[in-house]
Structure 1
Amino acid sequence: MTDLRSAPLPVTDPDASTLVFPTPTEVYPETSWKALLTHSKLQTGRLLLRSAKDPFTMLQAIVYPAIMLVMFWAVLGISVTRATGVNSVYGYAPMLALVGAMFGSMASGMQLKAEWRKGLLSRFWILPTHRAAGLISRLVFEAIRILLTTVLIMLVGVLLGFRFNQGVVAGVLLMLVPLVMGIGFATMVTALSVNFAKVPLVELLSLICTLLMFFNSGFVPTAAYPTWLQGFVENQPMSTAIDAMRGLSLGGPVAEPLIKTTLWSLGAIAIFAWPAINGYKRAAGTPI
């Protein structure tokens, strides 16, 4: 398969009224591992380039969470710190890192629906490319985006007083927690996007995530919520991830919240992976 970005343009054969294309230099069977790796890499690069040029995605995934972190810290942070004796940024920074992961996935889901509506998915589907490259490239793209967003949010958190008190290894694990949760969430968003084209489920999911942002252990300590609500707040996926990240930075329990976060993510993948695959196949073959 020739990289079209570096290949010479087709020329007209002087002896015939046809175009002569360059000879392919990398020809892989469509179902081979080499084809999967090569085509997934090309598709991931396309998604990264598109997102870099899309101001809505950049605002939704990176700028919005960073601004929200500063706003939460400025408006509520001092009061929460005085009430608990612990710097509130250890809850707000993890919370906004997760918000960036989730809202970025929802923006990607709406872009996926737009590509379906424009027929771009169908065009890619009829090309001699590996069938799994489209979905895998989206998950790789989500992983890269989540890591970049997490790094930026944590840098802003450091400016507000966040510190990695448990060492380098714990700091690296902390940065991977949003990735663990984000992959499961991205799988769910992909499944919803390709199975419910005309139903605004992704938009409704945005509303639910906004509500969850105010009912988790990072916004205020779990004990501050009504007793009947504390069980939900403590065990909802955002809280488990925030507690794991807090333990990996400030100190405290890590194993239990990390296991819960992993189970939440694996559960989402187990439930939504097959609908995402089938829905993507159907979306690539039919108009929206």
Structure 2
Amino acid sequence: MTTVELAEPTRAVAVLPVAPPRSERALSTWVGHSLIQCKRLLLVWTRDPATTIQTLIYPALTLLMFRVVLGDSITHATGKPAIYGFVPLTALVAAMSGSVVSALGFKGEKYTGLLGRFWTMPIHRAAGLTGRLLAEAIRVLITTLFILVVGICLGFRFWNGPLAAVAMICIPVLFGVGFAVLVTALATFSEGVMLVNVIGIINTLLMFFNSGFVPVFAYPPWLQRTVENQPMSTAIDAMKGLAWDGPVAVPLMKTLAWTIGFIVVFTYPAVRGYRRAAETGA
């Protein structure tokens, strides 16, 4: 008897279509890579005790010092609660001071070659800078909320409803992003010591010549217009009006003008300097 072997039936193998890789220049790639860079920076900052102190502890102690040392005397001199100037002032100072820490971190990434390694990888070219600015916005938001909690414990209140409160919280974030663009531009073209000195001078001048400590009329007449229209004063007046009393529209428009001006003027130097640092490590 002849044995007949039956061949196994052929099985159809399903071939799944492979999606083509997304372009490095695609908008979705930019958004996704920016979020990854933002998450990376936030994780680095949360693991650094110095950044935590600069973000939370230092602003809270500054606000407490203002209230204990200057609060009653300024309230008696002006007839207005000083806490409504101290809270906005502290939030804005914290936003500016934190930008220096971020800029020094950027310098460290440049010197260690991390920026260069990112530049050689299939990562959207703008993701590093936009991710850093997004992380800055989140940091300023967290700092502002923490300062508000401390301020509420010291007598700060919202008198104009929840929408005004949300708008007030957004002002330091907006201001911080604009200032971060300026600091990033300076960081790409200056050394660490020079950067700290320059930003320190800017912070000191803005911090002591604004409407957060005393009203504008308390300054010498020749200085009042400068104090009234400098970026911190406009932001403080808008936040004060949203939380308690005072004009809102005019100082808010001036704050938006300052922020947009920072972004328009310093975006190109920041992008060019960031690319130069990533490409050459210099």
* TM-score, structure 2 as length reference: 0.90
Q: Is 1:54 paired with 2:33?
A: no
Structure 1 unaligned regions, length at least 5: 1-23
The DSSP-based 3-state class of the residue aligned with 1:282 is helix
CA distance in 1, matches of 2:184, 2:196: 9
Q: Tell me the amino acid that sits aligned with residue 120 of structure 2.
A: I
Which range moved further: 183-192 or 206-215? Answer: 206-215
Please give the per-residue CA displacement for 1:206-265, whole angstroms capped at 9, x wherever unaligned.
232023211110011211111111111111100000000000011210000000010001
Q: Tell me the amino acid that sits aligned with residue 107 of structure 2.
A: K
1:232 to 222, 226, 237: 226
Percent of residue pairs bearing the same amino acid type: 52
The Cα of 1:274 is off from its aligned counterpart by 0.5
2:101 to 107, 116, 136: 107
The answer for the alignment partner of 2:7 in structure 1 is none
Q: Is 1:133 paired with 2:98?
A: no
Answer yes or no: is the 8 Å Cα contact 1:193–1:202 preserved in 2: no
Answer yes or no: is the 8 Å Cα contact 2:78–2:214 preserved in 1: no
Q: How many residues align?
A: 265
CA distance in 2, matches of 1:32, 1:285: 21
The DSSP-based 3-state class of the residue aligned with 1:87 is coil
The Cα of 1:144 is off from its aligned counterpart by 0.5
The answer for the alignment partner of 1:187 in structure 2 is 181
- Structure 2 matches for 1:139-178, cutoff 5 A? 139-178=133-172
Q: Tell me the amino acid that sits aligned with residue 163 of structure 2.
A: V
- Structure 2 matches for 1:1-288, cutoff 5 A? 27-197=21-191, 200-288=194-282
Which range moved further: 211-220 or 199-208? Answer: 199-208
Please give the per-residue CA displacement for 1:47-93, whole angstroms capped at 9, x wherever unaligned.
00000011222222322111100001000001111122221100000
Answer yes or no: is the 8 Å Cα contact 1:52–1:58 preserved in 2: yes
Answer yes or no: is the 8 Å Cα contact 1:151–1:175 preserved in 2: yes
Please give the per-residue CA displacement for 1:23-70, whole angstroms capped at 9, x wherever unaligned.
x99942211122112211111110000000112222223221111000
Higher helix share: 2
CA distance in 1, matches of 2:197, 2:21: 41
The answer for the alignment partner of 2:13 in structure 1 is none
The DSSP-based 3-state class of the residue aligned with 2:246 is coil
The answer for the alignment partner of 1:14 in structure 2 is none
The answer for the alignment partner of 1:16 in structure 2 is none
4+ long deviations beyond 3 Å: 24-27
CA distance in 2, matches of 1:238, 1:119: 36
Q: Tell me the amino acid that sits aligned with residue 110 of structure 2.
A: W
* TM-score, structure 1 as length reference: 0.88
Answer yes or no: is the 8 Å Cα contact 1:189–1:202 preserved in 2: no
Answer yes or no: is the 8 Å Cα contact 1:94–1:245 preserved in 2: yes
Answer yes or no: is the 8 Å Cα contact 2:115–2:281 preserved in 1: no
Structural RMSD (CA): 1.6
